[in-house]
Amino acid sequence: MLKQSSRYLRIIIPLTILFYFAPVIAIILVACGVFDISRHRVVTADLMTKYFVGNGLVTWLLSPVNVFLDLISERNKYVYALADFPPQHRAEIEHVLKVFDDDRDEIIADIRKKMGDSQRGMLFYKWYDKNTNDSIAAFNKEMTYIKTIGVSVFNKKESTSLHFGPLRLTLRVLYNLTPLKSDNVFIEVDGQKHYWHDDPLFIFDDTLLHRSINGEDNERYCVFVDVLRPSSFTRLQNVIMKIVQVAFNNFSGIFYGRWTFLK
């Protein structure tokens, strides 16, 4: 109880000070945060606690930016099918997924060697538009819409807690390379479960509350791709992406603190 109270105070005190010295900024921050959580199907006390004083704090602080990104992007569907994307976006996504399909066994074997005894592994080929691994030449080519390419690995019976992604500049494309016929391996977004055996492809707005579960005694290998949201302002989105690349380059540990980065 004492620990939870101190967490609330760490937010309430700075927010009170902000309301005193910069009330307009404080009102915008609170209003954008309320809008953010209202996008969920059911708003609960637990959801608000996670968002405002838990692991959603960074997402809340970035909520005015996210509202701006909403304004310059097409209407957010929250969960997407590949057919929802314009042809240019779809072509880049399909190209990347085909490379993973064609080289699936080699990619998994390479990552398995690098994983060792780690519980969670993350291998990036591209990180916010910056090439970080030259082992697959096709991923090092300049892309207009795809900004991050990687593979996440869960060891046996490994899962994430419920969490929020930070920015709505992109949408998260997930493609399970090892879909098991099991209801114990899934991703849950805003209370809705997607089972990988139903469809290995899942695309969503990762600023919604979500978690990934691997409840089996098998490793789970999942491609993840960040693709710019469909918008009439692609050039502006790419300018913002350059800023994000610099800003997030030194803070990846905030979002992937419990992951082992594989090279």
56 shares its domain with 115: no
Q: Please check whether residues 161 and 212 belong to one and the same domain.
A: yes
CB–CB of 212/154 below 8 Å? yes
What's the domain count of the chain? 2
Q: What is the CATH number of the domain that holds 232?
A: 2.60.120.330
Claim to verify: residue 46 and residue 106 sit in the same structural domain: no
Same domain, 122 and 226: yes
Any idea which residue has 């030449």 for tokens?
Answer: 137
- The Cα–Cα gap between 168 and 176 comes to 22
Q: What is the pLDDT of residue 4?
A: 63
> Of 71, 99, 123, which residue is a domain's last?
71
Is residue 48 domain-shared with residue 170, that is, in the same domain?
A: no
Confirm if 69 and 168 have CB atoms less than 8 A apart: yes
Pick from 47, 71, 95: which residue ends a domain? 71
CA dist 38 and 30 (Å) reads 12
> What pLDDT does 259 receive?
83
* pLDDT, one tens digit for every residue, the chain (263 residues): 556 667 788 788 888 888 889 999 999 999 999 999 999 999 999 999 999 999 999 999 999 999 999 999 999 999 999 999 999 999 999 999 999 999 999 999 999 999 888 899 999 999 999 999 999 999 999 999 999 999 999 999 999 999 999 999 999 999 999 999 999 999 999 999 999 999 999 999 999 999 999 999 999 999 999 999 999 999 999 999 999 988 877 655 556 667 888 88
Model pLDDT, residue 149: 97
Looking at 45, 71, 97, which one is the last position of a domain? 71
Q: Which domain holds residue 223?
A: 79-262
* Per-residue confidence (pLDDT) for residue 142, from 0 to 100: 93
pTM for this one?
A: 0.94
Q: Which pLDDT score is estimated for 253?
A: 56
